[in-house]
Amino acid sequence: MTNIIASTALKARQLTEEEIHEIEHEKTHYPYAQAVGLEALKIVQKYQGWVSDESLLAVSEYLDIPPDDLEGVATFFNMIFRRPVGKNVILLCDSVACWMLGCDDLKAHITSTLGIDYGETTEDDMFTLIPVPCLGDCDKAPSMMVGRELYRNLTNEKIDQIIAGYKAKA
């Protein structure tokens, strides 16, 4: 793993003031700085959209966590993106209740509307589509999130409206 990081990342980037400020705030919640590794990655991702090698190294240096350990955390979690994603990440639930109520058809609809499969980003960098495990919203299935927003009882028509809404905002 050391090799992978060493071969792609040039060096740590400078963390921004905002990032440092938020990481410092999280540090007050734990007796050890190492505990905020995930939070720091999430903070970086909030501002940068994803966690580049340069960002990972920056957090690693800042919190004094070996890069391999931090990479072990980063790659463990579904919601830490180690590759660039679009401005809006569509998280479509593909677990059992949503599957029973037609999430495969919704996925096909999104794919044909936006021209992206799971893991892909539209050419204009507006949307990335990712499947997520059960969103804990099964009584309102099928469900998905776009960024931090939850959308429930989905149909193809609703998805069209949601996508149009994000496009209009851009």
Partner 1 sequence: MSINNPLTKNIEEGRAPFTFAEYKAAGGYQSFANAVKMAPRDVMGQVKDAGLGGRGGAGFNTGLKWSFSPDPDGLPRYLVVNADEMEPGTFKDRLLMESDPHLLIEGMITASYAIQASTGYIFLRGEYTVAEENLLKAIAEAYDNGMLGKNIQGSDFSLDIYLHTSAGRYICGEETALINALEGKRANPRFKPPFPQVSGLWGRPTLVNNVETICNIPGILTHGVDWFKGLGLGEECGTRISGVSGRVKNPGCWEMPVGTTFRTLLEDYAGGMQDGYVLKAFLPGGGSTDFLMPEHLDLPMIPGDVAKAGSRLGTSLIMVLDDKTCPVGTVRNLIKFFAHESCGWCTPCRDGLPWVEHILNKMEEGEGEMKDIEILKEMCGYMGPGNTFCALAPGAAEPLQSSLKYFMDEYESHVKHGCSYN
Q: List residues near ligand FES by CB under 6 A.
A: 93, 95-98, 134-135, 137-138, 141, 143
Q: Which one of 3-11, 16-24, 27-35, 107-115 is the stretch in contact with partner 1 (CB under 8 A)?
A: 27-35
**Minimum distance between the CB of residue 103 and ligand FES, rounded to whole angstroms?**
7
Q: Which one of 1-9, 14-22, 24-32, 116-124 is the stretch in contact with partner 1 (CB under 8 A)?
A: 24-32
Token duo for residue 101: 């109520």
Q: Which is closer to ligand FES, CB of 35 or CB of 150?
A: 150
Cis peptide before 142, with omega less than 30 degrees from 0? yes
Q: Which one of 10-18, 77-85, 109-117, 156-164 is the stretch in contact with partner 1 (CB under 8 A)?
A: 77-85
Please say whether the beta carbons of 142 and 102 come within 8 A.
Answer: yes
How far is residue 62's CA from residue 57's CA, in Å, rounded to a whole number? 8
Q: Is the dihedral of CA 35, 41, 44, 47 positive or negative?
A: negative
